[in-house]
Amino acid sequence: MINEKMEKAFNDQINAELYSEYLYLSMKAYFETLNLKGFVNWMDVQVQEEHAHAMGMFDYVNSRGGRVKLTAIDAPETDWESPLAVFEHILTHEELVTSLINKLADVAEEVKDRAAMGFLNWYIKEQVEEEDNVGQVLATLRLIGNDKNALLALDKELATRTFVAPVIG
């Protein structure tokens, strides 16, 4: 049976993961308006990943005899100045998610929930990968500057990204 404090912390994180999915869906819609189909694809993969992250925790809470309690999801931003601004926002957001996952791990340590600590190791490693992936695109966008041909080349590259369902835990 999951500890009550641990259950609440997981429920808060599930909501945060669902907000991430919602935010990235909004960013996908933004890229649709720019007709940057590769960026749309990259964001679609992010949407699917965030959904998988939320559902991994959702299933974990249920498997531990807890109860998932969904709450309202805040409305995400819908407009950005540029693709660069979007990816700067993504990096800031992923850094926030990393801090939230670390706080969740702190609760697991505090209540001595070794099962949760083991489960959360996957998410901790995943956040390193998430920040790195975003950082790579962001670095390229910074190099590109206002070069529309280079932006279109990056768009073509981002179109090759595919979603691979994670094995969480």
Mean pLDDT of the chain: 97
What pLDDT, on a 0 to 100 scale, did the predictor assign at position 111?
98
- Averaged pLDDT, 58-64: 98
Percent of the chain with pLDDT over 70: 100
d(CA 148, CA 115): 49
Q: Is residue 75 part of a domain?
A: no
H helices, E strands: number in the chain? 5, 0
Q: Is residue 95 part of a domain?
A: yes
- Record the pTM: 0.96
Which DSSP string do the residues of 97-114 spell out, in sequence order?
A: HHHHHHHHHHHHHHTT-H
Give the HSE-up count for residue 129: Cα atoms under 13 Å, Cβ half-sphere.
9
Residues 16-32: tens digit of each pLDDT = 999 999 999 999 999 99
Give the closest residue to 131 by CA, choosing from 162, 168, 87, 164.
87
Q: Is residue 84 part of a domain?
A: yes
- Averaged pLDDT, 58-70: 98
What's the total number of domains in the chain? 1
Residues 115-131: tens digit of each pLDDT = 999 999 999 999 999 99
Q: Is residue 167 part of a domain?
A: no
Where in the sequence is the domain holding 17, given as residue range(s)?
4-70+80-158
Q: Is the pLDDT of residue 169 over 90?
A: no
Q: Which two tokens stand for residue 35?
A: 């007709």
CATH number, position 104: 1.20.1260.10
Residues 32-50: tens digit of each pLDDT = 999 999 999 999 999 999 9
Q: Is residue 94 part of a domain?
A: yes
Q: Which two tokens stand for residue 149?
A: 């041909």
Q: Is residue 17 part of a domain?
A: yes
